[in-house]
Structures are given as C-alpha cells and as structure tokens.
Amino acid sequence: MVGLTLGALVLQATAALGASGAAFCGARPFGLFVNNTIYQPVKNEVLTYPRFVETEDGTIFATSSTSGRSPQTFPIFESVDGGASWEHVSEVADTVNGWGMTAQPALTELTEPLGGLPKGTILASGNSWSNNGTRIDLYASTDRARTWKFVSHIAEGGRPNTTNGATPIWEPYLLVFNHSLVAYYSDQRDPDHGQKLAHQVSTDLKTWAPPVDDVAYDLYIARPGMTVVAYIPPVNKWILVYERPIGNSSSHGVNYPVYYVMADSPLDFRLNEGLPIVIDDKIAPNASPYVVWSPVGGANGTIIVSDADNAPVYTNRAGGAVDKWELHQTPAGATYSRAIHILKKHPDNLLIFGGEIFDDMRANPPKLTPFSATVVSLTDILVNY
C-alpha cells in the first residue's frame, strides 16, 4: 500500500538524518527554527503546494502535492509541538476516480457538526485529474487524519489544460462558515472568462449549491487564480488573495501580480474591487499567494501575505489599506504555492512551509528539496523593513 510504503520511506529518511528531522535542526517545541525537515523526498518525489490545518487543540496537520510516485496521494503529517517534530500518519488517496489525488490539496477542520459528521472531523480536498477531466473531491477523517472516506464530488471540469478556452477547474480552498462548508476554486468553464474565481456552498457536505463568482474580469485573458481567504477581526472584514496574470504583461516586474479583495462576508467578494499589493510603488509579490492574520503588530494586528517566488513576506498593519504594504525578510526559501500560518496559541510564531520551487518541479534528476517548516518571530521580522 502507498501509505505503508511512504511510512517506511519516512523512517528511512529519519534514520539518515539522525534521530529525526527536528533533532537534526535543533528545533524546540513551539520555538523558532529554520528549514526543519517534515519529510525528505526520495527517488523521483517532488513536494510542492504545501497545505495545512491547525485543529482547535493546537495539532497541525500538513500535506502537499506529491509527484514522482504512482498513484499520487496527499501524505498527511502531524505535529503536536508547533512544527518542531512531525509524524507521517496517513495518505489521502483517490478511491473513486482511479486518477489519483494529483495536485492542489486543501485541509480544514469542522468546528461544529455538519453533514452527519462530528465536530473535529478533518476535511481534505484536492484536484483529482486525468485526460478525462478534473474533479475537486471531498474526503473526511473522523479519527484524527488516520483514515479517510470519500464524501462528495464538489465540482468537475475538463481535462487539465491552462489554455484559454479549455474547461478545467483548479486550486480548491475550504472554509467552514455559517453552518456550511465553502469550497473556493479557479474556474475555466465560463466561456466569458479565460479563468475566474468562484465558490460553492454545502450545508450537508454532499450536495452543492451552484457556483457563485468571487473574482471575474471583463477582460477575457485575465486569469485570476489560487484563492486563499482569511478573517481580519479588528476591521470585521474578510480578505481573499489571488494572482492575476494577464497574457504576457507584467506589473512592477512580475508576471503573476498578487491582488487582494476585502468584503464583509466571505461569500460576497464579488461586490468589491481587487487591489494590487505593491510596496513603495516598485516591489510586488509574484504568484500563488497565501494570507493569514495575527493580532501581533498594533491595533489592527498584521495581515501577512506570502508568494511563490520570494523569501520575504508582505505585511499590512493598517487593516488592508492599499498604500500600507511593507516587505519583510525571512530566512525561509521560496516554494511553489508556499503556505504560511500563525499558531493559534502563539500568535507571534509565523510558520512558513517549504518545498520545491516551480522552476525545479520537473528537474531531472529531481533536486529532492525537503518538505520543511520554518518558524520565525513576527515581532522580530517586522522590525526590519
């Protein structure tokens, strides 16, 4: 079985490092550390697109897109000490399509009972694809991510193809909101848009309301993509970040400029205008953004955005004001669709997941860049602008 095979590989990689990846890096529970290995790829494996959920008790479950083995699955790793040590606990596998869990995972926790599943259930989604199509599917675990059961097909599109006019769907993001599950994704199925951002809502996890637009441009070749959403409590607003490529054009030197839109409800982003993130009118993040919020940093706390191509993060301590973005260096490396997180009980601890960069995803031989975790002090990095 794939899970047992990967588990054995994890043990082999751990033994090669010493006692563990965490011990190798000197990571201490709930401390600060750089490039702490979660999993060391072997053979042809390439880990990108890290995703995670922190449950109400502070446990972190992390996963990634994992290519280079067949069938493709999403490995699940667990940390109970703020990312200092990790255990491989399961695999999310495609059990209905025969296509594999190919790419773009998403995780969340049910914070209330929903669809016959209890509070604390871990939900996983991702893009299962083949030449027959793309399917965003939902799986659930009621035993702390040890086993998984298929729940429903959220949405379906054409075969994977980023050419305008093709009809796939991409890049799910899950949010529990208002006694429902919201599934956001990138959508190429609308003939009026090369790509747009949409969401669907379910109150029972099995049936899904029709898609609702979140971000769609009149310009057909605009391709907003890669939704991530966060709540900003001091201003009682929700923020959605996305990349906005337009053909071969660029903005402030980047081809996939990062935009954000704010709204009173995470279901109403379509009502407001997207704004670019630009620092000092000359620096812009590029591609596959991620956004989180921390109460650290002042009365409005700090909005923190990461991108795919750079080590720094981009912050806003003014509730999202368009002219108040700053750039702050971190010791973490760039990663394709890099994810970041603020620990719930340690709001100064900014967790940055690492993996392979986009340009090296198809390197031959693979670079075997570790799936890793870096934790930095938000207070410390805010000092250096």
State pLDDT tens for residues 173-221: 999 999 999 999 999 999 999 999 999 999 999 999 999 999 999 999 9
Asked if residues 198 and 212 have their Cβ atoms less than 8 Å apart, the reply is: yes
Contacts of residue 260, defined as CB under 8 A and 6 or more positions apart, other chains included, come to 239, 240, 241, 242, 274, 275, 277, 289, 291, 305, 320
- Residue 362 pLDDT grade (very low, low, confident, very high; cuts 50, 70, 90): very high
Neighbours of 265 (CB within 10 A): 11
How far is C-alpha 122 from the chain's CA centre?
15
In a 10 Å sphere around its CB, with 0-12 CB exposed, 13-18 middle and 19+ buried, how is residue 37 labelled?
buried
pLDDT score for 31:
98
d(CA 162, CA 360): 19
Asked if residues 124 and 100 have their Cβ atoms less than 8 Å apart, the reply is: no
Helix, strand, or coil here: 15?
helix
**What amino acid occupies position 41?**
P
Q: What is the pLDDT of residues 107-149, one digit of tens each?
A: 999 999 999 999 999 999 999 999 999 999 999 999 999 999 9
Torsion of CA 298, 237, 182, 62, to 10 degrees: -10
Enumerate the β-bridge partners of residue 349: 377
pLDDT score for 359:
95
Phi and psi dihedrals of 41, rounded to 5?
Answer: -60, 155
pLDDT score for 14:
32
d(CA 257, CA 248): 12
Q: Is the pLDDT of residue 285 over 50?
A: yes
Q: Is the pLDDT of residue 6 over 70?
A: no
pLDDT score for 250:
75
pLDDT score for 385:
80
Contacts of residue 18, defined as CB under 8 A and 6 or more positions apart, other chains included, come to 24
Lowest mean pLDDT among 21-30, 253-262, 265-274: 21-30
Q: What is the pLDDT of residues 59-89, one digit of tens each?
A: 999 999 999 999 999 999 999 999 999 999 9
pLDDT score for 22:
37
**What amino acid occupies position 284?**
A
pLDDT score for 256:
96
pLDDT score for 224:
97
Is 0.85 surpassed by the pTM of this model?
A: yes
- Residue 252 pLDDT grade (very low, low, confident, very high; cuts 50, 70, 90): confident
In a 10 Å sphere around its CB, with 0-12 CB exposed, 13-18 middle and 19+ buried, how is residue 290 labelled?
buried
Asked if residues 138 and 121 have their Cβ atoms less than 8 Å apart, the reply is: no
Q: Is the pLDDT of residue 57 over 80?
A: yes
pLDDT score for 248:
67
